[in-house]
Structure 1
Amino acid sequence: MSRNRKSGTVTIIPNLSIIDIAEEGKGVGKADELVVFVDKAVPGDVVDVRLVKKKKNFAEAVIENLQKGSELRTDPFCQHFGTCGGCKWQHMGYDAQLQFKHKNVEAALQRLAKIDTSAMEPILGSAENKYYRNKLEYTFSNKRWLNKTDMATPEDGDVALEMNALGFHVPLRFDKILDIDHCYLQADPSNNLRNQVRAYALEHGLTFYDLRNHEGNLRNLIIRTSSTGEVMVVVVFAYVEQEQIDGLMGYLKSNFPEITSLLYILNQKKNDTIFDQEVLTYAGRDHIFEEMNGLKFKIGAKSFYQTNSNQAHELYKITKEFAGFSGDELVYDLYTGAGTIANFVARSVKQVVGVEYVPTAIEDAKFNSKLNGIENTIFYAGDMKDILTRDFIAEHGKPDVVITDPPRAGMHADVVERLLEMEAEKIVYVSCNAATQARDLALLKEKYEVTRIKPVDMFPHTQHVENVVLLTFRGAPELSEAPEATV
């Protein structure tokens, strides 16, 4: 490492070579024994960096000067890149993104689960890497994040510290919102809807929510679109009069006839969650429909559905392929959500038993089965570790195949233990977090062998990646016979 130079309390490391990229999307370099995580750095870069945090064995840094740009670098396409917390890999070509996502999954499985990944299949990229999301949630705030341009050109000789914004949270700043002009994540009419809602609110004096003092009229805006062309808009109000609600909702109804489902919520809690709030229908239906593989799915304001619709279809096809159904299997679908995977595979098996923690999701799952004329699914709501008991398995039968798609935290240890007791012939484990998946696979290795691995990119320009693993039952390890006792 070149000698650090200090300016006051500032530490600069010159000519740092970026050799890798971390799971959180930061470039990785090494200076002697110090591992340095560099924001917005790309493998292949040579950079001068300024340390912003230093621990014993690692440090975090920002680029002071790009000495040599990597061949993997590309120009970010979004004006909000660097401040917005999303799409952190825009400055790296998509093929390179896929390469490093594949590598990160492989490293997690090798390091944490000691799994042989030699037969790991190539990552499946997303056909669309712009406008691929079907849902976005924006936040209103009277505390807009001020960028360098704002600070350099103050209005009336002073920077207004309280300015309205409708957009996304700035990373690590819960009360600061980045005002969004154009977002490349969701297709039309998303951008126009958001911008027109903001313009209406400003023109008619609707106040934007204060995230610290919990005051203001407007709180959140949720926009959902579907492959069928339907649009859902949910406006979340806080402290507001009905006349103000009717004004904004009436404006949306008149100016955006393409809205299929126009809903609103009154939320005066101190958090943004809507799952315990009543959803009120202003116009149209209280839901929209999504289609996949000839199936229709009802999507409500609180429904879970994979946010990349087209790539979700590919993910489910891989899941089904890994399972290798013959037609007479009993399948357990754990963490079933709105029953999308359960209904997707139902016509290829004898029966599917789905389990999910969220009761409203289970109601959606039941509705979706009925909507598609599927009669061989059963769904249960409750905590997985409490539902999946020996009595439950005795009642419903030992599954031939288990499909599990848990949240980022992975499966509870009790659930893993129950899977080991059930001894299903196959487990297809779908995960959005390779680290927690590896942790669970390490435990399942007691009786299972990992036979197929396939990463799937659901979220281009981010570090996130899904991974599908097929585990095949091989039985418990045999105990070696004890030697005969000698006299």
Structure 2
Amino acid sequence: MTHDGEGVGRVDGYTLFVPGALPGERISARVTKQKKQYGYAELDELLTASPDRLNPPCDIYEECGGCQLQHFDYEAQLTWKRQHVIDNLTRIGKLTVAGDGEDGGIVVHPTIGMENPWRYRNKAAVPIGTASASGELVGGFYERGTHRIIDMDDCLIQHDRNDEALRVVKRIARYLRVKPYDETTGEGVLRHVMVRTGFVTGEIMVVLVTNGQRLPRQPEWIESLRAELPGLKSIVQNVNERNTNVIFGDETRTLWGSDVIYDELDGIRFAISARSFYQVNPSQTIALYGKAVEYAALTGNENVIDAYCGIGTISLFLARKAGHVYGVEIVPEAIEDAKRNAALNGVENATFEAGPAEVVIPRWRKEGATADVIVVDPPRKGCDSALLETILKMQPERVVYVSCNPSTLARDLRVLEDGGYRTVEVTPVDMFPWTSHVEAVVSIHRINK
């Protein structure tokens, strides 16, 4: 399968990518697009099914683009995700992976999965539009490969409270006759709805993204949402008037309640605003960050730099075992959240600064700062080359890499290996069951100075 979860088949040596097909299956498919070296096809008939094939429990799975792997046995998914990480390490990073029972090479552990891989998401963000047939307001995920919205009332990977809040918002919008946004004409009011739910606290935030400053019938919105959503703590409006697929605009204001909701991860309390980056799978986040702390191997005296620190989630996990943690993040609002979260938990051994990691950390180095451990948790594009160069110059004893993209992880590991570091072990973590995404935590040690 490809990294997107598409089956890879061959006909007389010609490669076809087939969504919905699984390894080992024989199928009949209809070619939809041809290129010189490869093509795309749709699955017409299943001739020989894989023993790992499931009947997807979601009624709209075949249309919705939210999940890619509901037809694939969960344990088999975990095995495939581990192999996907290995393939990137060997093919892109040119790294050696230890075989089962063999010495030498990087140890890639089994993927950490979920005991119950459903209802795990604490955040839902869906576009709002108009059904072409009925003209009714709809909200849900896009159909695969299109911008047609598949109306959704029940998503099996969302927390029940998220689903209920989305149903309530759509019902209120229809009752109040709020016009959905039309991305073709740029007209209409309601563009997106985002819901956040605190798994531990039960607190709910509803964010209405509007195409303009005015939210029609705002008092009725507030009254209705408060009446129908127990646990609601915050109603927020975000204004996005740009012709873009990006969900949020620059202006955010609280219409009712608090600017934030609160939640906890492993006993650490976090204030979460409308635009905060906060991992969507709480139980797996604890596993992910727990493994990062384990790989940091802290004794209580170390200086730790947390690059791409966001609202301070990993930083506060590290601060419980480090001498001092220095966090850097490019988004100023996130740094303010990080400072607030440190204060919220009485953490005094953490310092945060806003700016690009590849700019701030080199400056810290020039000012005499040292790091025993550097933790990086970059976006999908991976680490900036200037940051990797700074890591090699600072020469920490250990680097911990938290990755959401195995291909850029492998690329960056190659740079660190060529600079005198050794990749010791990797643990994939399934943060997004039933999708093709996989995260990984990597332990990297310095081998020379």
TM range (shorter): over 0.9
Contact conserved, 1:448 with 1:474, CA < 8 A, in 2?
A: yes
* CA distance in 1 between partners of 2:438 and 2:305 (Å): 24
Contact conserved, 2:141 with 2:151, CA < 8 A, in 1?
A: yes
Contact conserved, 2:342 with 2:350, CA < 8 A, in 1?
A: yes
Residues 476-487 of structure 1: pairs in structure 2 closer than 5 A:
none
Choose the corresponding residue for 2:210, options 233, 237, 262. Answer: 237
* CA distance in 2 between partners of 1:367 and 1:232 (Å): 19
Contact conserved, 1:89 with 1:461, CA < 8 A, in 2?
A: yes
1:299 corresponds in structure 2 to 272
Choose the corresponding residue for 2:95, options 99, 112, 115. Answer: 115
1:226 corresponds in structure 2 to 198
Aligned length: 439
Shift of 1:116: 1.9
**Please, which runs of 5 or more residues in structure 2 have no aligned partner?**
99-106
AA aligned opposite 1:290: D
2:102 corresponds in structure 1 to none
2:181 corresponds in structure 1 to 209
1:481 corresponds in structure 2 to none
AA aligned opposite 1:342: S
AA aligned opposite 1:318: K
Contact conserved, 1:216 with 1:240, CA < 8 A, in 2?
A: no
Moved more, 183-192 or 204-213: 183-192
Shift of 1:115: 1.6
2:300 corresponds in structure 1 to 327
Change (3 A) 1:109 1:182: same
AA aligned opposite 1:26: E
Report the TM-score, using the length of structure 2 for normalisation. Answer: 0.94
Contact conserved, 2:23 with 2:50, CA < 8 A, in 1?
A: yes
2:334 corresponds in structure 1 to 361
Shift of 1:107: 0.6
AA aligned opposite 2:88: A
Residues 76-475 of structure 1: pairs in structure 2 closer than 5 A:
76-118=56-98, 119-142=107-130, 144=131, 159=133, 162-174=135-147, 176-227=148-199, 228-239=201-212, 241=214, 243-271=216-244, 273=246, 276-389=249-362, 391-395=363-367, 397-446=369-418, 447-475=420-448
Please identify the structure whose Cα radius of gyration is greater. Answer: 1
Q: Secondary structure at the match of 1:169?
A: coil
* CA distance in 2 between partners of 1:449 and 1:240 (Å): 53
Moved more, 334-343 or 232-241: 232-241
Greater than 4 Å deviation, 4+ residue runs: 239-243, 272-276
* CA distance in 1 between partners of 2:245 and 2:258 (Å): 23
* CA distance in 2 between partners of 1:433 and 1:213 (Å): 35
2:103 corresponds in structure 1 to none
Shift of 1:240: 7.2
* CA distance in 2 between partners of 1:408 and 1:200 (Å): 36
Shift of 1:220: 1.2
* CA distance in 2 between partners of 1:240 and 1:437 (Å): 41
AA aligned opposite 1:415: L
Moved more, 269-278 or 434-443: 269-278
* CA distance in 2 between partners of 1:255 and 1:294 (Å): 30
1:37 corresponds in structure 2 to 17
Shift of 1:281: 2.1
RMSD: 1.7
AA aligned opposite 1:59: G
* CA distance in 1 between partners of 2:245 and 2:25 (Å): 40
Q: Secondary structure at the match of 2:66?
A: coil
Shift of 1:245: 2.0
* CA distance in 2 between partners of 1:475 and 1:194 (Å): 54
Shift of 1:243: 4.8
Contact conserved, 1:48 with 1:65, CA < 8 A, in 2?
A: yes
Shift of 1:171: 3.2
Change (3 A) 1:221 1:396: farther
1:149 corresponds in structure 2 to none
Shift of 1:241: 4.7
Paired-residue identity, %: 37
Q: Secondary structure at the match of 1:378?
A: strand
AA aligned opposite 2:381: A
* CA distance in 1 between partners of 2:204 and 2:168 (Å): 16
Shift of 1:387: 1.7
In the alignment, does 2:20 pair up with 1:48?
no
Contact conserved, 2:239 with 2:249, CA < 8 A, in 1?
A: no
